Amino acid sequence: MPTTPATADDPSTVRTLLRLWPYVRPVRARLLVAAVVAVLASCMGLVIPLVLKWLVDGPVAERDPQGVWLGALYLLLLGLAEAGLFGLRRWLVARPLAGVEAEMRADLYRHLQRVPIAFHDRWASGQLLSRGTTDLMLLRMFLAFPLTFLLVNGVTIVIGVVIMLLQDWVLGLVILGPAIPVVITCVVFERRYAEVARRAQDQVGDLTTVVEESVLGIRIIKGFGRHRSQARAFRELARTLRGTELHKARLLATIWAVIITLPELAIGAALVLGTVRVADGALSAGTLVAFLSTALALRWPVDSIGFLLAMTQEAATATQRYFEVMDAERESGAVHTASAPAPARGNGARPADDGLRFHAVRFRYPDAPEGSPPVLDHIDLHIRHGESMALVGATGTGKTTLTALVPRLHEVTSGRITLDGEDITAMSREELRSRVAVAFEEPTLFSASVGENVLMGTDGAAGRAELDRALAVAQAGFAHELPEGTGTQVGEQGLSLSGGQRQRLALARAVVGRPRFLVLDDPLSALDVHTEAAVETALRQVLAETTALIVAHRPSTVLLADRVALLSGGRITAVGTHHELLRTNAEYAWLMSGADHGADGPATAGTDATGTDATTADTTDAIEEARR
């Protein structure tokens, strides 16, 4: 996902942060109580200068030791009360805000499971990780601190200014002098800091992506000796992020310099003027002490404005980034399309639409350039009930894309797909995926046990017997020989296993639930010929009980199927048995030959009058005979 800096069209900070309200609403009462407690604690600090005024003008001026001790006791009690109230505020917000963060993270994870595959194709995983970790941490910090203290400090400043004006309006106006330049600085800072904060958070996502890819691809990096170039690329990104963070620090230093310096100058001016007025008898010493103590008590609320605004801007950009993901459209639900009713089942006969059928299916990727040809165009294909069909075609013809349409990993652009006469878009995704099992060419295993990875292909009802059966079909008996048997943890992405072992476990996962429909995308490509032969022998029994579509590149895999469909130029150009296509279709014979014909394609010398490579036919006949 490319870095997308904030623009003038971005929503305001307040409007952006208001999107958090649905998550905050359940804990609003506790947060409100915490804010009230914080205001009371802050007001305790403003009472201290009034006690000091009484103490200076009273017991100190009158040389009353008992009164001085009483005043000291008052100050101690006020300090303890202030500390206790701030501690209570922290206790009030800690648990509910941890719950808000957990709920937002869970919602993000659930949403990522429901967005289309095309969304994950566009987004870098590091960007998604940073939104689920760093950004949510920033939001929790904002809700715990700036959200409350922007209110608390605002109330404290207003009350403190009123107290100072009541004590002496002349000195009060001196203190208020920097207000206008401070406000202007805050407005300018907010706009500039928002852009830089967004850039920094996007760069953190980019850096996370590089780290994740480097960890997952460590074998490639080491195998090709690319650790230095990868380190240079990481340093460049880290250096860019460092520059952005330093830009943020300069902006924050600028606002702090203004916010701290101007009020300090105002306090210094008030001190000089107040001292002159006390010397002239126009002001009591106690009033001056109380006034300056109140001004000093307001230093933290004023000085923290820059810090709080910075955290608020970071929270606003984190909210934008979070909802960029949450606003992504989910996979469409059941869409009931107008379709002809399924034929009546009379005398036990199956209707013509039984099995898996593609009806004039057309598919184009949603982000494909305008005017580009579709990946698949007018696909008409019928795999009858209980039949297995091999899907053959040159690399890049759309075989994997076609198989992804069956479980609705992608949505067809036009046309429809039916299972036993029922349009798949008329089913819920849960129902559809309970009927269809898939095994991909690139197997993915999770950081779980072997058994948990395989049983992921069921609804949870399968037991030990089904697990053992699936492992036997996939010739994955090695699982029982692992240190803890099928309870052995396979590690992240199963990289502790070989490619062939991962592929066999993925195949076991596909067959463990005895699916009605089975979609296999070249599931045996990583196996040696002997293991492949053993798997195919066991797999034939499974295929006899299901309806299967199998992407195949080798004759040995093709021979598993009852019929073969040739995909060429985004269309099904031929359907028949393996031997029929060898005799009648030159392109199919060329694909099955495995010979290097260069750019001439299938129409090369060495074929007989029907366009069939005689050697290929002899080879596949021998393979089939051996399997029998």
pLDDT in tens, 473-523: 888 888 888 888 888 888 666 666 777 888 888 888 888 888 889 998 887
Residue 398, SS3 per DSSP: coil
CATH topology of domain 356-576: Rossmann fold (3.40.50)
Q: What is the DSSP string of 358-416?
A: EEEEEE--TTSPTTPPPSEEEEEEEE-TT-EEEEE--TTSSHHHHHHHTTTSS--SEEE
Total Cβ atoms within 10 A of residue 43 = 16
Phi first, then psi: what are they for 376, rounded to 5°? -125, 140
Q: Residue 84: in which H helix or E strand, if any? A: helix 65-114
Distance in angstroms (rounded) separating the CA atoms of residues 74 and 81: 10
Do 13-326 and 356-576 show the same overall fold?
no
Compute CA distances 420 → 314, 385, 429, whole Å.
53, 8, 16
pTM given for the model: 0.71
Distance CA 627, CA 559 (A): 9
Class of domain 13-326: mainly alpha
**pLDDT at 336 (0 to 100):** 39
Residue 602 has a pLDDT of: 52
| Domain boundaries defined on the chain | 13-326, 356-576
DSSP state of 601: T
What is the rounded CA–CA span in Å between residue 476 and residue 465?
Answer: 14
Average pLDDT across the chain, whole number: 80
d(CA 126, CA 203): 10
Helix H or strand E segment including 451: helix 450-455
Report the pLDDT value the prediction gives residue 343, as an integer from 0 to 100. Answer: 43
Give the best-scoring range by mean pLDDT among 65-69, 88-92, 209-213, 606-610: 88-92
Per-residue pLDDT, 296: 82
Cα–Cα distance between 397 and 527 in angstroms, integer?
A: 24
Q: Which residue has the higher pLDDT, 45 or 37?
A: 37
Token pair 């040809």 is found at 373
Which has more pLDDT, 200 or 50? 200
The two structure tokens encoding residue 409: 């990993």
Residue 382, beta-bridge partner list: 357
- Triad 401, 403, 404: Cα angle to 5°: 65
pLDDT in tens, 238-296: 999 899 989 988 888 888 888 888 888 888 888 888 888 888 888 888 888 888 888 88
What is the predicted pLDDT for the residue at 352? 55
Rounded to an integer, the average pLDDT of 19-24 is 91
> For residue 10, what pLDDT is reported?
57
Q: Rounded to an integer, what distance in angstroms lies between the CA atom of residue 153 and that of residue 315?
A: 19
Residue in 63, 57, 54 with CA at minimum distance from that of residue 284: 57
Q: How confident is the model at residue 338 (pLDDT cuts 50, 70, 90)?
A: very low
pLDDT of residue 3: 45
Reference 163, options 278, 303, 50, 302; nearest CA is 50
Instruction: Give the helix ranges, DSSP H, for 115-178.
Output: 117-122, 125-132, 134-144, 146-167, 169-176
Q: How many CB atoms lie within 10 A of CB 173?
A: 13
Q: How many angstroms separate the CA atoms of 49 and 183, rounded?
A: 26
Angle ∠(617,622,628) on CA atoms, nearest 5? 125
Q: How far apart are CA 306 and CA 256, in angstroms?
A: 6
| Amino acid identity, position 93 | V
Note the pLDDT of residue 628.
46
